[in-house]
Amino acid sequence: MKERITTGIDKLDSLMGGGIPKGNVVILAGGAGAGKSLFCFQFLYKNAKKGLKSAFISLEETPKQIIDDAIEAFSDFSDAEDLINKNSLIINGEDILQVISNSAFDDTKQMLYLFNNALASIYSIILNNNVSVAVIDSVTIFKNLISDPISFRLMSMKLINILKKNNITALLTLEVSKPYRDFLEFPPEFFIYDGVIGMYFSSNTDSRIRTLEIVKMRGTSHSTKAFPYEITSSGIDIVEI
């Protein structure tokens, strides 16, 4: 059986035969408030604890914001800052974030130039730190800036190839516009990835319920059911299985 990498959520691992197949590049898609960035932090934290060099490459938030939010949500991850200080858990991407934030784009050619620079920065972080497990949060920023779907698909394939060339097991977050399962759409470019995990809201008459679903995962059998989950001080946990 192919080596597995933990998602950081034991019950989720059991739904796909022990975890994400090593080397898979997986889209984590969901609406605002679903907990995508927290899921990613937990994924990296748990793998760093296992001795795998892990990197959180953010294209939307500063390292301080990511760390502060994660520690506030997951108070039981008391040694997270120790892992960061030891460089076992790397929080990076601020240089890419600043370039994107300070740039104006007139055409796709300029965006292609920026994207290639971003890829070079991502590759540098991975290579210079001997990273095994990575998160890119989020590719939505590129999707929003690139109006041509073919160009976005080609850029996505370049990113996937870089990760696969280095045998990186990765989660890439993507914001979806409609966070409810009944309206959740999976665009064609999702399926160039090895896996797709959806995080969305189910609703009843009283409340919204956070729900998680493995839509696709190459290299393993997996559950096709949707499961509610909670965000607790000790991490994200699936409520029922």
Residues of the chain above pLDDT 70, percent: 88
pLDDT of residue 100: 65
Q: Which is more confident, 98 or 48?
A: 48
- Which residues constitute the domain of residue 79? 4-238
Centroid of chain to Cα 144: 17
Q: Report pLDDT digits (tens) over 120-138.
A: 889 999 999 999 999 999 8
Residue of 194, 213, 193 lying closest to 202 (CA atoms): 213
By C-alpha distance, which of 91, 12, 100, 22 is closest to 58? 91
CATH number at residue 26: 3.40.50.300
Structure confidence by residue, pLDDT tens digits, 25-76: 999 998 888 999 999 999 999 999 999 999 999 988 888 999 999 999 999 9
**Amino acid at site 48:** A
**Chain centre to alpha carbon of residue 184:** 18
What SS3 class is residue 115?
Answer: helix
pLDDT for 208: 79
Mean pLDDT of 99-109: 62
Total of domains in the chain: 1
For residue range 224-235, list pLDDT tens digits in order. 999 999 999 999
Judge whether 179 and 188 are in contact, CB under 8 Å: no
Half-sphere exposure (CA, 13 Å, Cβ side) for 68? Answer: 5
At 103 the pLDDT is: 59
Supply the mean pLDDT for the chain: 88
pTM value > 0.85: yes
| Residue with the two structure tokens 């665009």 | 187
Give pLDDT tens digits for 141-183.
888 777 788 888 888 899 999 999 999 999 999 988 765 565 4
Percent helix, strand and coil across the chain, each to the nearest 5: 40, 25, 35
